[in-house]
Amino acid sequence: EIGSGRITCSCAKEVEECMNLNDRILAIREGGQTQRCHTMQYLGPYNVAIHSYNALNLLLLLYPGNPSLNLIKAVQWHDTPERWTGDVPTPAKMASLKLREQLNEIEHDVLVALGVGNLLNDLTPKERNWLDAVDLLELYIWSIEQIEMGNRTIGPLVAQIEIIFGNRGSKTPRELYEVYENFQWKRTP
C-alpha cells in the first residue's frame, strides 16, 4: 500500500492485487502535484507535472528520429514517486550513497506498484543518457526563466547544473548539449 508510507508490492505481477486501475490513475495524478525544488524560493508553480511535460517536450523536439515508447514513459513518469519520497535535493543524494540507493529502491517499488513497471531499469544506456540529460536541461531552462523573471536566489542552482553538465561530458547527447550551450531566454511573441 503506497498511501500508508509502505510499499508492499514488490513485483509487477502483484500490481493488480495492490492497486486497481482507478487507484493507479489517481496516484499518478497526485504524483504530478509534488512540488519540485521545495528547498528554494521561486516564482510561480513548479511541480512534477510541469517538469515532466517540459522534459517530454524537449525529448520530442530534440531526439533524432522517434524515441522509444519506453523512453517516453520514463521521461513522463520518472519523478512520479516523489509524491511518496519527496523531492530530495541532489546534494543530499550525492552526500550519501546509502540514501541514494534507498531512494532508488523505494522509487522503483512505487513505479511497480503504480503499474508502470521497471521502465527506468529497461532503458538502454543511450536512453538513460537522454532521460538524465532532458531532466537536467529542463531544470536548467526553468532556472534561467526564474533568473530572467528576477529571482536571483536561483543563481547557485544554475552553477550546480553547469558543473553537472561539465561532469557528464560525452554522456550528454549532442542535440541536448547544443541547446544547453546556446539557450537564450526570451518571451515568445
Model confidence over 73-109: pLDDT tens digits? 999 999 999 898 888 877 888 889 999 999 989 988 9
6 pLDDT higher than 70: no
pLDDT band at residue 114 under the 50/70/90 scheme: confident
Terminal-residue alpha carbon distance, the chain? 47
Please tell me the distance from the alpha carbon of residue 60 to that of residue 75, in angstroms, as a whole number.
10
For residue 35, what are the β-bridge partners?
Answer: 47
| pTM, full prediction | 0.84
Please tell me the distance from the alpha carbon of residue 181 to that of residue 174, in angstroms, as a whole number.
10
Model confidence over 141-180: pLDDT tens digits? 999 999 999 999 999 999 999 999 999 989 999 999 999 9
Model confidence over 44-76: pLDDT tens digits? 888 899 999 999 999 999 999 999 999 999 999
Give the three-state DSSP class for 189.
coil
Give the three-state DSSP class for 143.
helix
What average pLDDT does the segment 16-43 reach?
80
Give the three-state DSSP class for 47.
strand
